[in-house]
Amino acid sequence: MKIAIVGVGMIGGAVARAARGLSGVQEIVGIEPLASHAAQALELGLVDIVASEVPADADLVVLAAPNEQLPDWVVTLRDHAGVVMDVGSVKGYIVREVRRRLGETPANFVPCHPLAGSEKHGPANAPGDLFRNRLVIVLPQRASSAAAVRRARAFWSGLGAILHEMDIDTHDRTLAATSHLPHLLAFAFMCSIRDEDLRYSGGGFADFSRIAASSPELWWGIFRLNREELLQALDGFQNQVDALRAALVTDAEADGLALLAEAAGRRRQL
Amino acid sequence: MKIAIVGVGMIGGAVARAARGLSGVQEIVGIEPLASHAAQALELGLVDIVASEVPADADLVVLAAPNEQLPDWVVTLRDHAGVVMDVGSVKGYIVREVRRRLGETPANFVPCHPLAGSEKHGPANAPGDLFRNRLVIVLPQRASSAAAVRRARAFWSGLGAILHEMDIDTHDRTLAATSHLPHLLAFAFMCSIRDEDLRYSGGGFADFSRIAASSPELWWGIFRLNREELLQALDGFQNQVDALRAALVTDAEADGLALLAEAAGRRRQL
């Protein structure tokens, strides 16, 4: 099996590293325009070769390029003989843009989203076993071939992931709430902190704000590409903040305690 | 040295556990009205005995009771021969209430705040070495005796903590921003999450929301007791959320990226 990985940053690098452990994988080809990432990926042995184009004989093409570029790649590879999977955080804009240009998504294309990541970036930060026991959402399209979906699922299963199928709208709404919103809030929180207060941060602060160290470019892209769902999730959050603020201002203990208990109860389910 | 600990929950239990390692500590007495906590603290060997009152011959009294009860304890122990320290998260209301009742804070009283904790509670969850290399804020009052301040500092130093002095107003404003605000936001965030979305939480979600599993009673108390400072910190956060929202709605990439870069840069300083 020959695997091509478009974009060998942290996630692409982690896919490469994990795929090394799969039986039958003979060659991993990286497509990476950033010279420093390309050199690192080669040096670390994540990829066997760096190419400027996806080889025609690749069995699997993993698109881990910046989100904005994914529709272009799907269109470019529409007739590729291998299976094409993206690993992006937002799905609706890809499918809409590809359909606008091609009328339908290609049969070889299976959108995927591994719920695994890190605030770090670059292939040097690619963890060795990022996908084991982590959820990978597979989003087969009506035009996706059954064989392509089967191979996509088999690939992630081989990396130890737990598979879950979802439709595009549910995905973008769910991820807005569970991932994009907390990132936006953590960024806003860190903007509100004074530099001189940083030294008084305890473990709660550190965990709460960890994701605010994530790449601004990556996350601005995600926020934009999932804007409507993110704004809806933000409205939902804002309602809860307003309710808590009102309870605090009016010293309404029963209301305040009920809100905190609801939150704590839900969090303890995790 | 005999140490009395009023309230042997998670923090009081951690103080007891850590104090066991100090040379010269002969007896640790717990004052704990909650029968289950008292029994656990004895069983775990955190305290040697559970008493209903603070022994007159205690050299050090650590007040780790619920925040609301701290002013009462300081007033009750105003003539105690030992050093009295609280470990509460808010300070202004204690000092104001004690001054209102006594005219001045007692000479034996040294407010302290170890910046260490956990979302868990109860003595069974008391970590063994909670204070090593953690910041403990010591807040000597104008009426605190030099000897009391010296003994308070020596105690925390003995537990491996890093000491920092601060005035009450700076403490309450700083902690509102670095601790109370993220707790409020994490609680509000968890209120806004649908139960069915919980299974799609990744590592970012888990870290961001961890503190929302904290005790509702404890945190409602902290929010109330530091209400004015917390509302100010919340206003500052709200301004940043509004700026991010505006950038998103108008697709103002330069503004959005600048906000995210400021947040990421500050977080990476940690």
Name the average pLDDT for chain B: 96
Residues A143, A11 share a domain: yes
A118, pLDDT greater than 80: no
Cα–Cα distance for residue pair A52/A33, rounded to 1 Å: 7
> How confident is the model at residue B202, as a pLDDT?
85
Residues B142, B200 share a domain: no
* E strand or H helix that includes residue A95: helix A92-102
Report the percentage of chain A scoring pLDDT > 70.
100
Q: Do A267 and B213 touch (CB under 8 A)?
A: yes
> How confident is the model at residue B46, as a pLDDT?
96
The residues, any chain, with a CB within 8 Å of residue B106's CB and separated by 6 or more, are B74, B77, B78, B79, B84, B98, B143
The residue that leads in pLDDT, B163 or A127, is B163
Cα–Cα distance for residue pair B66/B82, rounded to 1 Å: 21
A116, pLDDT greater than 90: no
Among B166, B201, B224, give the residue marking a domain's end: B166
Residues B177, B162 share a domain: no
What confidence tier does B126 reach under pLDDT thresholds 50, 70, 90? confident
Residues A202, A159 share a domain: no
Distances (CA, A) of A236 to A46, A86, A202, B186: 42, 29, 28, 13
Cα–Cα distance for residue pair A53/A39, rounded to 1 Å: 16
User: Which CATH number do you get for residue A184?
Assistant: 1.10.3660.10
Using the CB atoms, write b or e for A148-170: b if 16+ within 10 Å.
Answer: bbebbbebbebbebeeeebebee
Mean pLDDT of B244-261: 98
- Which region among A162-176, B118-132, B204-218, B243-257 has the lowest average model confidence (pLDDT)? B118-132
Among B118, B134, B166, give the residue marking a domain's end: B166
A174, pLDDT greater than 80: yes
Cα–Cα distance for residue pair A163/A32, rounded to 1 Å: 28
> How confident is the model at residue A121, as a pLDDT?
82
DSSP string, A168-194: HHHHHHHHIIIIIHHHHHHHHHHHHS-
Residues B123, B202 share a domain: no
Q: Do A204 and B211 touch (CB under 8 A)?
A: yes
d(CA B115, nearest CA chain A) in Å: 6
Residues B137, B96 share a domain: yes
- Tell me whether residue B82 is exposed, middle or buried, using C-beta atoms within 10 angstroms of its C-beta: 0 to 12, 13 to 18, 19 or more: buried
What six digits make up the tokens of A233? 């999730």
Mean pLDDT of A183-209: 94
Mean pLDDT of B214-219: 94
Residue with tokens 């599993």: B213
Residues A87, A127 share a domain: yes
- Start-to-end CA span in chain A (Å): 38
* Contacting residues of A for B216, CB less than 8 Å apart: 257, 260-261, 263-264
> How confident is the model at residue A28, as a pLDDT?
98
- Which region among A121-135, A237-251, A256-270 has the lowest average model confidence (pLDDT)? A121-135
- Tell me whether residue A19 is exposed, middle or buried, using C-beta atoms within 10 angstroms of its C-beta: 0 to 12, 13 to 18, 19 or more: buried
> How confident is the model at residue B116, as a pLDDT?
86
> How confident is the model at residue A175, as a pLDDT?
97
Residues B207, B161 share a domain: no
What single letter denotes the amino acid at residue A18? A
User: Which CATH number do you get for residue A74?
Assistant: 3.40.50.720
The residues, any chain, with a CB within 8 Å of residue A30's CB and separated by 6 or more, are A4, A5, A8, A12, A16, A38, A41, A42, A46, A47, A49, A50, A51
Q: Do A211 and B231 touch (CB under 8 A)?
A: no
Contact status, residue B90 vs residue B112, Cβ threshold 8 Å = no
Using the CB atoms, write b or e for A94-120: b if 16+ within 10 Å.
Answer: bbebbeeeeeebbbbbbbbbbbbbbbe
Name the average pLDDT for chain A: 96
> How confident is the model at residue A52, as a pLDDT?
95
Contact status, residue A84 vs residue A132, Cβ threshold 8 Å = no
Q: Tell me which chain B residue has its CA closest to the CA of residue A185.
A: B241
Mean pLDDT of B13-36: 95
The residues, any chain, with a CB within 8 Å of residue A245's CB and separated by 6 or more, are B231, B234
Report the percentage of chain B scoring pLDDT > 70.
100
d(CA A81, nearest CA chain B) in Å: 32
d(CA A106, nearest CA chain B) in Å: 27
Neighbour tally for A23: CB within 10 Å: 6
Cα B12 off chain centre by: 11
Cα–Cα distance for residue pair B130/B159, rounded to 1 Å: 9
Q: Do A204 and B210 touch (CB under 8 A)?
A: yes
- Tell me whether residue B103 is exposed, middle or buried, using C-beta atoms within 10 angstroms of its C-beta: 0 to 12, 13 to 18, 19 or more: exposed
What six digits make up the tokens of B191? 């209120």
> How confident is the model at residue B122, as a pLDDT?
87
Residue B54: which of B19, B124, B6, B99 has the closest Cα? B6
Residues B239, B192 share a domain: yes
Among B148, B166, B184, give the residue marking a domain's end: B166
What confidence tier does A176 reach under pLDDT thresholds 50, 70, 90? very high
Residues B116, B23 share a domain: yes
Residues B43, B82 share a domain: yes
Mean pLDDT of A90-111: 98
B117, pLDDT greater than 80: no
d(CA A200, nearest CA chain B) in Å: 7
What single letter denotes the amino acid at residue B113? H
Cα A143 off chain centre by: 23
Q: Tell me which chain B residue has its CA closest to the CA of residue A213.
A: B264
Question: Judging by DSSP bridges, how do beta strands A112-114 and A135-138 pair with one another?
Answer: antiparallel
Q: Do B266 and A190 touch (CB under 8 A)?
A: yes
Q: Tell me which chain B residue has its CA closest to the CA of residue A164.
A: B200
What single letter denotes the amino acid at residue B98? V
A4-13 pLDDT per residue, tens: 999 999 999 9
What confidence tier does A48 reach under pLDDT thresholds 50, 70, 90? very high
Give the total number of structural domains in chain A.
2
> B199: domain range?
171-268
> How confident is the model at residue A245, as a pLDDT?
98
Q: Do B257 and A216 touch (CB under 8 A)?
A: yes
Q: Do B186 and A263 touch (CB under 8 A)?
A: yes
Residues B176, B158 share a domain: no
B53-68 pLDDT per residue, tens: 999 999 999 999 999 9
